[in-house]
Structure 1
Amino acid sequence: MKKIFISLLVLLSGTALFAQTIELTPIFGYTVAGKVDNYGRYFNVKDNALYGGLLSVQFDDFMFAEISYERNDTKGSTFLQTVDLAVEHYQFGLLREFSAGTVVPFTKVSFGTSRYVQKSGGDERAWLFSAGIGAGAKLLLSDRVGLRLFTNLMLPLEFDGAGFWCGIGSGGSGCSGGVNFNVPIVHWDLGAGLIIRLQN
């Protein structure tokens, strides 16, 4: 998954040559996590600080393509033990601004993967497909520097199964299909970042 993330980063960097605006944003904040409850057995992920970075490339008026990395070093606990845990989110998404000026509200959606790494008491690792939705505002202090305030919901997804079926009846025939996912845990992020703008 890291290779895919790096490939997207290289692709986005190439696109940046033709961009109207490029924003580099180191971020820092706090993640409110939750508890995975699996048939009466739980795994609780502790709330903790997050850090990471964003590369945003403007490709149209008010529209940015964005690649992001977030991490928090936290603890996870079960009935039996508490372990050190690293949670990472690798995401690619789209950001939509809603105005021009000094204060710029925005929303975003993203897709990618989340990685969970046990750092003590074992070496368990898991990768999950994930999606994110977020909102916030950019406070532009100058043409080159600004602040980004944001909130995100990061939603790791577990694949439950897929189906495809066809049928013939009195109303005609047809086919249908579906894929089922569930969200085992939700990460709610609150944070801020320093925007460094590069403009053509």
Structure 2
Amino acid sequence: MKKIFASLLLLFAGIIVTAQNIELTPIFGYTFAGKVNNYGRYFDVKDDMLYGGLLSIQFDDMMYAELSYERNDTKGYTALNIIDIATEHYQFGVLREFGVGKVVPFAKLSLGTTRYVQKSGGDERVWLFSGGLGAGAKLFVTEKVGFRLFTNLMLPLEFDGAGFWCGIGTGGSGCSGGVNFNVPIVHWDMGVGLIIRLQD
């Protein structure tokens, strides 16, 4: 995991050198979380406040590379007890703006990891590969200050298995493979951020 983050930081360092704009955005909002109720498991993550930040680097017209961090501290309900947990999303994404001016709509796609940390009754930590889909709008008050309204779907993925097959038949030979993933809990985030634009 550390190697992946180090690689992403090096990639961002290269992008920063040629950046047209850089935006720093602390964010605050609310997370609507889901529950797991399959294969004999039950785990319900309660909705709660979220906070975090974004580093957005413009590398082309209306295109940004983003590093993002989101966290919420909440409670998780199992079949037997209630525990305090923290959920963290570490994401690398690409944002596409649609237009210029005071109000700028956007869409975002990201990949990264999600971490669940047990804060009471134990010390369990679970890391899952995750992806995100987002949309929103930037509302600029000045050229360097604005607000970011956003909504994201964060999708942690559990790896269920993989397979690779080869065969020979009357129609010839061939090989195929597949990977199966399961989305255990969906997190729907909504919030606002304060954009601080650092222009060249």
Contact 1:113-1:128 at 8 Å conserved across structures = yes
Distance in 2 separating the partners of 1:118 and 1:182 = 22
Compute the TM-score of the two structures, normalised by the length of structure 1.
Answer: 0.95
More moved, 15-24 vs 183-192? 15-24
Distance in 2 separating the partners of 1:158 and 1:41 = 14
Change over 3 Å in CA distance of 1:110–1:195 after alignment to 2 = same
- The runs of 5 or more residues in structure 1 that have no matched partner are none
Distance in 2 separating the partners of 1:150 and 1:2 = 28
Contact 1:5-1:90 at 8 Å conserved across structures = no
More moved, 4-13 vs 39-48? 4-13
Q: Alignment partner of 1:120: what SS?
A: coil
Cα shift at 1:37 = 1.0
Letter in 2 for 1:85: I
Q: Percent identity?
A: 77
Letter in 1 for 2:105: P
Distance in 1 separating the partners of 2:173 and 2:7 = 43
Matches within 5 A, 1:91-106: 91-106=91-106
Distance in 1 separating the partners of 2:21 and 2:91 = 20
Matches within 5 A, 1:29-108: 29-108=29-108
Distance in 2 separating the partners of 1:89 and 1:173 = 43
Which residue in the other structure is 1:129 paired with?
129
Distance in 1 separating the partners of 2:6 and 2:170 = 53
Distance in 2 separating the partners of 1:13 and 1:42 = 42
Compute the TM-score of the two structures, normalised by the length of structure 2.
Answer: 0.95
Count of residues in Structure 1 that have an aligned counterpart in Structure 2: 200
Kindly report the root-mean-square deviation, in angstroms, between the aligned alpha carbons of the 2 structures: 1.4
Deviations 1:111-148 (CA, angstroms, capped at 9, x unpaired): 01000000001111100000000100111111100110
Hey, which bits of structure 1, 4+ residues long, moved more than 4 A?
none
Contact 1:9-1:67 at 8 Å conserved across structures = no
Letter in 2 for 1:107: A
Change over 3 Å in CA distance of 1:3–1:28 after alignment to 2 = farther
Cα shift at 1:39 = 2.7
1:141 equivalent in alignment to 2:145:
no
Change over 3 Å in CA distance of 1:140–1:2 after alignment to 2 = farther
Q: Alignment partner of 1:69: what SS?
A: strand
